[in-house]
Amino acid sequence: MGAAVAAGGILASTMTDVNFSGFSRPSSSTTETSVVAVQPVPQAVVPQQFHGKWVGQVYQGSDAPYPVELVIAGGAVGATIGSVTYPTLRCGGRWELRATSDNKISAVERIEYQGTCVETVDIDLDMQPDGQALYSFKTQGGGQGVLRRVQ
């Protein structure tokens, strides 16, 4: 196969003397050029419905629930999208977006000031039909809670 070059959204490929199983081999003088338009892939960002301040209670095992305060400002995959505080656990930090869809965001929580929190946790936030968000994680036996937007 000849060279493939992508420039300005166009992918050009030149094929010469390629032997495909089940196909006849083109003569050495045969050259084919194909041009295919390449569309840029949109960067995944936090859907607007998740932007704002969220509060709720997290339930983890048989422990008493603890409050969470989450502010999501938006951003793209890999970027910091918000901040989180666990007042009774005396810790908090930031969320970095891992993945997103219309009704779900997945983030890495990175604790920046430590009380009794785990330093790094993968957390999912699933938008519910009533506008609340289901907060869930699997680390340390897992936990979940329902958050409501207050701003």
Give the mean model confidence (pLDDT) for residues 82-107.
96
Spatial separation of the C-alpha atoms in residues 19 and 38, rounded to whole Å: 26
Helix, strand, coil content of the chain in percent (nearest 5)? 5, 55, 40
Flag whether the pTM goes above 0.85: no
Share of the chain above pLDDT 70, in %: 72
Every domain range in the chain assigned CATH 2.40.128.20 = 48-149
The pLDDT, as a whole number, for residue 28 is 54
The pLDDT, as a whole number, for residue 116 is 87
pLDDT in tens, 4-61: 444 344 334 444 444 445 545 555 555 566 666 655 556 789 999 999 999 999 999 8
The pLDDT, as a whole number, for residue 33 is 60
Domain covering 48-149 assigned CATH 3.90.79.10 in the classification:
no
Position 123 pLDDT exceeds 90: yes
The pLDDT, as a whole number, for residue 44 is 86
The pLDDT, as a whole number, for residue 3 is 43
Of 149 and 23, the one with more pLDDT: 149
Sign of CA dihedral 127, 129, 132, 137: negative
Give the mean model confidence (pLDDT) for residues 87-100.
96
The pLDDT, as a whole number, for residue 146 is 98
Of 87 and 33, the one with more pLDDT: 87
